[in-house]
């Protein structure tokens, strides 16, 4: 949807920009109409940028009982958060560990990069996480419970 709104937003934005007060888009418009065009442009930009949306989109795939692949994509238009990918991966790994009653997690693989797209580059990250249930210490093998 945002790809279709981008040309409209640019046209609306240009409608409010001029040096002598008239542009091809605003010729014959009164002041209140220009304000409406400017507000429309601001609304279109807000819809495309969406400042309340999270910076990263997380997709999770369970590969086995204890292994998960976490894939993340950063939103296209942002004002920060480029260094958050590993932090988000670790936060989700802790959640997976706690949900399953495990004692630890291991990051088996982690990559970050940038994918080129038509409307600009997009940061991506991917990690492979395994949650671990550690056996209690039993130095002498006297425990009746086996794990």
pLDDT of residue 119: 72
Residue 143 is predicted with a pLDDT of: 56
**61 in a structural domain:** yes
- pLDDT value at residue 109: 96
SS3 percent helix, strand, coil of the chain, rounded to 5, is: 35, 25, 40
Q: What is the pTM of this model?
A: 0.58
Together in a domain, 45 and 77: no
Q: What is the structure's pLDDT at 89?
A: 94
What whole-number distance in Å separates Cα of residue 53 and Cα of residue 50?
6
Q: 81 lies in which domain range?
A: 56-132
Q: Do 89 and 69 sit in the same domain of this protein?
A: yes
Q: Which of 14, 29, 49 is the last residue of a domain?
A: 49
pLDDT at 94: 95
Locus of tokens 């996480």: 129
What's the confidence (pLDDT) of residue 62? 95
Number of domains composing the chain = 2
Same domain, 39 and 16: yes
d(CA 82, CA 70): 17
pLDDT at 22: 52
Tell me, yes or no, whether 106 lies in a domain. yes
Contact 41, 13 (CB under 8 A): yes
Q: What is the pLDDT of residue 105?
A: 94
Q: Are 43 and 60 within one domain?
A: no
Tell me how far apart the alpha carbons of residues 24 and 15 are, in angstroms, rounded to a whole number: 8
Give per-10-residue mean pLDDT for the chain (147 aa): 53 52 56 77 68 80 95 76 84 94 93 84 92 73 55
pLDDT at 1: 45
For residues 61 and 117, membership in a common domain is answered with yes
Residues 36 and 99 in one domain: no
């Amino acid at each position: 949807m945002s790809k279709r709104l981008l040309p409209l937003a640019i046209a609306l934005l240009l409608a409010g920009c001029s040096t002598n007060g008239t542009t091809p888009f605003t010729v014959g418009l009164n002041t209140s109409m220009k304000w409406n065009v400017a507000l429309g442009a601001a609304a279109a930009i807000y819809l495309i940028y969406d400042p309340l949306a999270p910076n990263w989109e997380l997709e999770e795939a369970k590969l086995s009982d204890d292994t998960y692949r976490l894939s993340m994509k950063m939103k296209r238009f942002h004002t920060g958060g480029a260094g958050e990918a590993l932090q988000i991966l670790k936060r989700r790994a802790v959640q997976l560990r706690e949900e399953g009653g495990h004692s630890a997690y291991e990051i088996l693989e982690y990559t970050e990069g940038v994918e080129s797209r038509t409307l600009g580059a997009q940061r991506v990250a991917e990690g492979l996480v395994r949650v671990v249930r550690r056996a209690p210490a039993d130095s002498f093998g006297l425990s009746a419970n086996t794990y």
